[in-house]
């Protein structure tokens, strides 16, 4: 005898009105006519059914990010870049989300982390009047979308807390269209806006906080081009703890007498899994049967990435980092404090974007390297072509490798070298970018006034080229978001991290005022150099 399973549920109506019903279609038609369903077509074109019963928050967010045409900057399934629930693995491990769902604050964090602007409100931080105005504002635009966090019980539906985007608003009937991402359960449906407010004005037992709504839009800044950070492994918590909390404490040591001391102090204490944290954004395009060349867009993107890498090389901080990592004596000192994985040398070979399968450079050599992070076991290049052969469990595949070219001669990376090679971001490139991205208060504990002045000059991004400034600001954004996530501050404070630049001229103003060499003056400067 066959066992009956669940296939959808009957939508309780009232209070809800099925979008596909005669009444529901008429409501949509009138909303479109009145201009309060502008975002509907963008959302419906990217409609996504949650792939797990507890993935409603992830599905709603990936749907909205795709509707806003935000480039994730990493591969979903090669060669395509596209937001999917499986890529939203920051702030909360996917296995935990799968088992228990995700909180309102952490969905806000994910939206920030993946390149969106977010305004978020719990119901105790807003009013039904404000909520209605925001629904009207979002429904009248296709460049801002609303995600609502509500309790299904208010609509006589089965289940508890749920997330879904709001697709449209009918002013005369004061109804909102919920594009329910649990399409296996309930279809998209209209509900009275006042009842939706009641559904949001409930407490999430997991956090003790009220539910609410968020407005998600595109950032004005361009997405990161070359560097990103990864939360794929839980080690990100350790790395963020080290960079944001431990490093400022280490730099308060009396032994910090020059820039070399500063860098060695940071490098010799890097977490053993540091290489998993910061990645180099690169992509691989499969060789088409037609053998067509790269598109102009791809060529242009490669040129921009190359320019960012060049600008990193031209910073004064890069020269100091390179000197440290190229010094045999200092390299040995750093190696001795490393784990058996030789994390700094491994950066040159192991860094890659999530989803990217291989990094390579045109060369006449045929060296091979293993990549622990991906399903690719090794690769080789032959005959000086920018073509690589992937060797994995499924056999061999030929790909075109999309990485910045370089006009200078490079030798292939190997586990014994610290310098940049093969046109890839070796440890010195990555460490330079990450040091520039640290909040400026990181350095304010340095007691030696001369060293403090010099390090502020090296890490200030005010005089960097605009392209590199934007890249560093993206990294800084992500670090600040991850710190809030690590410190469990997301539920109490939904606002975006504030990046307050400390201009070079402002720093010099303080130094000119405090020319005395006494520690009191330096401490005063340190106290005033507070950033967020």
- For residue 525, whether the previous peptide bond is cis, meaning omega lies within 30 degrees of 0, is no
Q: Report the distance separating Cα 19 and Cα 43, nearest Å.
A: 14
Choose, from 56, 109, 353, 413, the residue flagged as catalytic. 56
What secondary structure does DSSP assign to 351-363, as a single string?
Answer: ---TT--------
Assess whether 201 carries a catalytic annotation: no
Assess whether 332 carries a catalytic annotation: no
Q: Are 147 and 213 in contact (CB under 8 A)?
A: yes
Q: Are 405 and 423 in contact (CB under 8 A)?
A: yes
Choose, from 112, 145, 151, 162, the residue flagged as catalytic. 162
Residue 149, classed as helix, strand or coil, is strand
Placement of tokens 């990161």 in the chain = 224
Beta-carbon contacts of residue 96 (< 8 Å; ≥ 6 apart): none
Choose, from 89, 180, 204, 448, the residue flagged as catalytic. 180
Burial class (CB in 10 A: 0-12, 13-18, 19+), 97: buried
Assess whether 162 carries a catalytic annotation: yes
The phi-psi region of residue 372 (left if phi > 0; otherwise alpha if psi is between -120 and 50; otherwise beta) is alpha
The upper half-sphere exposure of residue 377, i.e. CA atoms within 13 Å in the direction of its Cβ, equals: 7
Placement of tokens 């935000």 in the chain = 70
> In sequence order, what E strands does 255-413 have?
278-280, 283-286, 376-381, 387-392, 395-402
Q: Report the distance separating Cα 455 and Cα 106, nearest Å.
A: 34
Q: Are 103 and 81 in contact (CB under 8 A)?
A: no
Q: How does strand 116-122 pair with strand 212-218?
A: antiparallel
Beta-carbon contacts of residue 278 (< 8 Å; ≥ 6 apart): 227, 228, 229, 230, 351, 430, 433, 434, 475
Burial class (CB in 10 A: 0-12, 13-18, 19+), 310: middle
Q: How does strand 144-151 pair with strand 161-170?
A: antiparallel
Q: Which residues are catalytic?
A: 56, 162, 180
């Amino acid at each position: 005898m066959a066992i009956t399973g669940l296939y959808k549920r009957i939508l309780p109506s009232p209070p809800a009105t099925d979008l596909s019903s005669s009444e529901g279609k008429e409501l949509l038609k009138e909303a479109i006519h009145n201009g309060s369903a502008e975002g509907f077509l963008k959302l419906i074109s990217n409609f996504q059914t949650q792939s797990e019963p507890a993935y409603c928050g992830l599905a709603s967010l990936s749907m909205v990010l795709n509707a806003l045409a935000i480039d994730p900057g990493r591969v979903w399934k090669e060669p395509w870049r596209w937001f999917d629930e499986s890529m939203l693995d920051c702030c909360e491990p996917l296995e935990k989300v799968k088992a228990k769902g995700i909180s309102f604050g952490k969905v806000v964090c994910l939206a920030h982390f993946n390149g969106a602007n977010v305004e978020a409100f719990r119901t105790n931080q807003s009013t039904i009047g404000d909520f209605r105005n925001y629904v009207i504002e979002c429904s009248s635009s296709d460049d801002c979308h609303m995600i609502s966090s509500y309790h299904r019980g208010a609509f006589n539906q089965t289940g508890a807390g749920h997330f879904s985007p709001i697709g449209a608003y009918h002013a005369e009937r004061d109804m909102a269209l919920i594009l329910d991402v649990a399409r296996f359960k309930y279809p998209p449906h209209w509900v009275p806006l006042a009842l939706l407010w009641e559904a949001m004005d409930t407490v999430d037992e997991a956090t003790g906080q009220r539910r609410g709504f968020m407005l998600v839009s595109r950032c004005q800044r361009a997405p990161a081009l070359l560097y990103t950070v990864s939360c794929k492994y839980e080690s990100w918590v350790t790395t963020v703890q080290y960079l944001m909390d431990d490093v400022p404490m280490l730099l308060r040591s009396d032994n910090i007498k020059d820039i070399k001391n500063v860098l060695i102090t940071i490098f010799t204490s890097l977490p053993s899994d540091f290489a998993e944290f910061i990645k180099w954004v690169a992509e691989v395009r499969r060789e088409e049967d037609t053998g067509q060349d790269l598109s102009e867009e791809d060529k242009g993107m490669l040129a921009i990435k190359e320019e960012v890498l060049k600008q990193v090389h031209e910073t004064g901080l890069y020269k100091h980092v390179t000197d440290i990592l190229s010094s045999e004596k200092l390299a040995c000192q750093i190696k001795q404090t490393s784990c058996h994985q030789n994390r700094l040398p491994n950066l040159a070979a192991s860094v890659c974007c999530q989803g990217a399968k291989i990094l390579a450079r045109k060369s006449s050599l045929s060296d091979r390297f293993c990549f622990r992070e991906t399903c690719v076991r090794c690769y080789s290049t032959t005959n000086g072509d920018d073509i690589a052969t992937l060797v994995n469990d499924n056999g061999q595949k030929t790909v075109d490798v999309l990485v910045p070219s370089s006009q200078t001669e490079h030798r292939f990376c190997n586990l014994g070298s610290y310098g940049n090679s093969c046109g890839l971001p070796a440890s010195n490139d990555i460490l330079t970018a990450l040091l520039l991205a640290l909040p400026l208060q990181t350095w304010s504990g340095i007691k030696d006034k001369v060293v403090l002045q010099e390090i502020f000059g090296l890490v200030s991004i005010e005089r960097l080229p605009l392209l590199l400034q934007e890249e560093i600001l993206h990294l800084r954004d992500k670090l600040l978001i991850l710190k809030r996530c690590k410190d469990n501050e997301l539920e109490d404070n939904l606002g975006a991290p504030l990046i307050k630049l400390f201009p070079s001229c402002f720093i010099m103003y303080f130094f000119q005022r405090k020319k005395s060499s006494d520690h009191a003056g330096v401490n005063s400067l340190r106290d005033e150099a507070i950033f967020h």
